[in-house]
Amino acid sequence: MARNKRAIPEINAGSMADIAFLLLIFYLVTTTMDTDKGINRKLPPWDEELVEDPPPIKERNIFTVLVNSNDQLLVEDEYLEISQLREKAMEFIDNNGDGSCTYCKGYKVSSSSDNPDKAVISLQNDRGTSYGMYVKVQNELVAAYEDLREKYAEEEYGKSYRGMDAEEDKDVIKEIKSAYPQKISEAEPLNIGG
Amino acid sequence: MAVIKKKKDKGLPAVNTSALPDIVFMLLFFFMVATVMREVDLKVSVNKPQATEIQKLERKSLVTYIYAGSPRVKYQDKFGRSPRIQLNDAFATIDDVQAFVIQEREAKSEEDRPMMTMSIKADKSVKMGLITDIKLQLRKAQALKINYSSLQPKNVEALYSSEN
C-alpha cells in the first residue's frame, strides 16, 4: 500500500524568476508609457472650386484674431497678451447684442456679437508663426467656449460640464454644446514675415 | 562516546526566493497593462506644445501619426537642421503626405475609416508654414479629423510665460 504513494518529484521553479525578468525587461524596452493627448479639431473639407460667395456675416459677429510671425496677437485691432485672450473671447461670445439669448451674461454691447449662435471667431496666422503659439491660441479659444459651457452647465444642471460622462450624459452634453456652438474659422495664413 | 557534533560552517540561512517570480510577474503585468508599444523610431526631435483643453485619443488603432520637427542630431549632417516631416519610420516630403494618408486609410477596416484621426506631433518651434501645408494635404486626402498632440502643463502659469 505504502509503495503506491510515490512522491511526485517537485518541479524546479528556480528559473521562473529569470524567465519573468526576461519578459519584464522586454516590455520595459519595447513599450512607452506616454498617453496621447491633444486638442481635437476638424478641418474644413477641400473644395477644388472656391465657394463663390460665402454667406454674409455681419462685422460685429466676427471676432478676428491675428497672429504675426513674431508670435504677437492682434485681436479686434488691438494688441493683446495671450493671457487676456480667453477673457476677451468669452466677452465676445457671451455678449448677446440682440437679446435673444436668455442664458447669456454679456454686456449687450452694440459693437459685439448678436448671440452665441451667430458669433464666429476668425483666426488667421502667418506662415512664420510658431506652432507652439498657434496651439496656445487654439487652446485659449477652445477654453473660452469650454468655460462658457461650464458656467451654463452649473446653472442649468447644477453639475460640472467637464466632469460629465460622455455616454451617460450624452443628451445633456449635446444640449450644452448647442447653447454655445464652437465656431472657430481659420483663414489661409499670410506670408509676410516668412 | 557520544559527541554532539557542532555544525562547522554556520553560514547565513539561504533567503527564501520562492516569492520572487510572483513579484516579478506582478511588475510584468503592470507594465503590460500600463504601457503601449513604441510605434516608431523618432527621427525628428519633438518637443510638444502645452495646452489645457486636451482630450485623450481613445482608440490607438484609429490614430495615424505625422511627425514634424528638426532632425535629431545624428541625422543632422545628412538632412540638415530645418524642420522636416516624418511618416512611419522615414523622412518624407510634403508631397508624400496625401499618399500616406490614403494608404493608411486603406489599411483600416471599412467601418473604422470615417473615424480615422490624424495626430500631428510637431515641435513647438516649427513654423506654421509647414503645418499649414500638412493640413492642406490632409484636407485634400479627406482626412479631416485631426489632433494637435500636446502636453498638460504642470502649472497653468507656465502656459503664459514667454519661454514656452
The whole-number average pLDDT for the span B127-143 is 89
Q: Do A31 and B127 touch (CB under 8 A)?
A: no
CATH dotted code for B60-148: 3.30.420.270
Position A35 pLDDT exceeds 80: no
Q: Where are the domains of chain B?
A: 60-148
Coil/strand/helix, residue A65: strand
Q: Do B140 and A28 touch (CB under 8 A)?
A: no
Residue of A nearest to B152 (CA): A37
Tens of pLDDT, residue by residue over B43-87, are 888 888 888 888 888 777 788 889 999 998 888 888 888 888 998
Q: How far does B164 lie from chain A, in Å, by closest CA? A: 7
What confidence score (pLDDT) does residue B157 get?
A: 73
Tens of pLDDT, residue by residue over A155-174, are 888 888 888 877 788 888 88
Residue entry with cell 482626412: B143
Write the DSSP assignment of B71-139 as a string of letters.
BPHHHHHHH-SS-EEEETTEEE-TTHHHHHHHHHHHHS-GGGGGG-EEEEEE-TTSBHHHHHHHHHHHH
Q: Do A16 and B21 touch (CB under 8 A)?
A: yes
Please report how many Cα atoms fall inside a 13 Å half-sphere around the Cα of residue A53, on the Cβ side: 3
Going by C-alpha positions, the residue among B119, B117, B68 that lies closest to residue B92 is B68
Tens of pLDDT, residue by residue over A77-109, are 888 888 888 888 888 888 887 878 888 887 887
Query: Which of A33, A37, A130 minimises the CB distance to B127?
Result: A130
The model carries a pTM of: 0.79
Q: Do A20 and B152 touch (CB under 8 A)?
A: no
What confidence score (pLDDT) does residue A34 get?
A: 67
| Angle between the N-to-C axes of helices B128-140 and B96-107, in degrees from 0 to 180, rounded to the nearest 10 | 50
Q: How far does A57 lie from chain B, in Å, by closest CA? A: 24
Residue entry with cell 451674461: A105
Position B133 pLDDT exceeds 80: yes
Q: Do A36 and B63 touch (CB under 8 A)?
A: yes
Label the pairing between strands A62-67 and A79-80. unpaired
Query: Which of A32, A37, A46 minimises the CB distance to B150?
Result: A37
Split at pLDDT 50, 70, 90, the class of A194 is very low
ipTM of this complex prediction, to 2 decimal places: 0.77
